[in-house]
Amino acid sequence: MPLYEYRCDACGHEFEALQKMSDEPLIHCPACDDATLRKLVSAAGFRLKGDGWYETDFKSGKKRNLAESGNGSSKSSEQSS
């Protein structure tokens, strides 16, 4: 679920809320209880850019993506090492 940023136009209180994309935007400020919240537009905290980031960033050694290996037999050998 994404984090959304909100700011109250009445009191200036800013906060983040973890919501489903299908949820309605929040209306009432938790600080002053006024119905003047505004959802802010903000940039994502990180980017997944380029190919193979999942192959090289979080694995060590010669471990490869199982989908590329062509068969499931290497699964047990990779888990044992």
What is the CA angle 7-8-12, rounded to 5? 85
How many domains does the chain fold into? Answer: 1
* Domain of residue 32, residue span: 3-39
Q: Is residue 50 part of a domain?
A: no
Q: Is residue 59 part of a domain?
A: no
Q: Is residue 78 part of a domain?
A: no
pLDDT at 15: 95
Predicted confidence (pLDDT) per residue in 12-67, tens digit: 999 999 999 899 999 999 999 999 999 998 776 666 666 655 655 665 666 665 55
Q: Is residue 70 part of a domain?
A: no
Question: Per the structure block, which two tokens stand in for 30?
Answer: 């938790």
Q: Is residue 12 part of a domain?
A: yes
Q: Is residue 23 part of a domain?
A: yes
